[in-house]
């Protein structure tokens, strides 16, 4: 029972520290924005979001401030920085679920459009290539580099089966253990490849 109390106190103190960090970072971002430094303000709002505490009002406030600030930036590079900062912050705070995932589709669209405009502006390709450039940049943006959940779980289970078959071979039957060793090892390698 003591351990539960200790764990509860540790978790609550960590939540309190994160909450205080969020409060401080929002204030710093507001001060930077007033002083005319919007890019540093965006970084402070991002840090607020990275100190994510579920149900904290500062999470939503940081997202809203970044969303309002992005379209107001005059230079395309700065707007791109702003949108990508918000997008990466949302991906960094995800766990079992992704908070603010409904904002990702709009952010992805805005990022791809800005990247296309910047590419065209800097490289001056022929006009007939504009659609292809957009499609290529969109394909890169939409690429999902994260492993499959199914194959990731299978990696762990097949590894445990492989280790269990080695133990079985040592203490019981080498022939039966060898078959399970080969099956689990093959499944483990396959799932590593597929994940």
Statement: residue 146 has pLDDT above 80: no
Model confidence over 39-51: pLDDT tens digits? 999 999 999 999 9
Query: Residue 149: pLDDT band by 50, 70, 90 thresholds?
Result: confident
The per-residue pLDDT for 155 is: 94
Q: What's the mean pLDDT when you consider all of the chain?
A: 92
Model confidence over 69-86: pLDDT tens digits? 999 999 999 999 999 999
Question: What ranges do the domains of the chain cover?
Answer: 14-142, 149-194
CB distance 3 to 22 below 8 Å: no
CB distance 54 to 18 below 8 Å: no
The per-residue pLDDT for 147 is: 82
CB distance 89 to 49 below 8 Å: yes
């Amino acid at each position: 029972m003591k351990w539960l109390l200790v764990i509860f106190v540790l978790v609550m103190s960590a939540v309190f520290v994160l909450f205080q960090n969020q409060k401080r970072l929002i204030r710093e971002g507001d001060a930077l924005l007033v002083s005319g430094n919007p890019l540093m303000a965006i970084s402070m709002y991002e840090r607020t979001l990275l100190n994510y505490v579920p149900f904290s009002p500062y999470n939503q406030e940081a997202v809203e401030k970044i969303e309002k600030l992005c379209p107001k930036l005059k230079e395309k590079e700065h707007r791109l920085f702003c949108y990508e900062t918000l997008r990466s912050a949302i991906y960094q705070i995800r766990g079992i679920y992704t908070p603010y995932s409904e904002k990702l589709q709009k952010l992805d669209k805005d990022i791809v459009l800005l990247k296309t405009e910047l590419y065209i502006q800097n490289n001056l390709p022929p006009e007939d290539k504009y659609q292809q450039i957009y499609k290529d940049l969109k394909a890169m943006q939409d690429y999902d580099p994260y492993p499959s959940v199914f194959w990731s779980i299978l990696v762990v289970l097949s590894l445990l089966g492989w280790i269990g078959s080695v133990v079985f071979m040592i203490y019981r039957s080498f022939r039966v253990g060898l078959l399970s060793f080969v099956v689990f090892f093959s499944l483990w390698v396959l799932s590593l490849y597929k994940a």
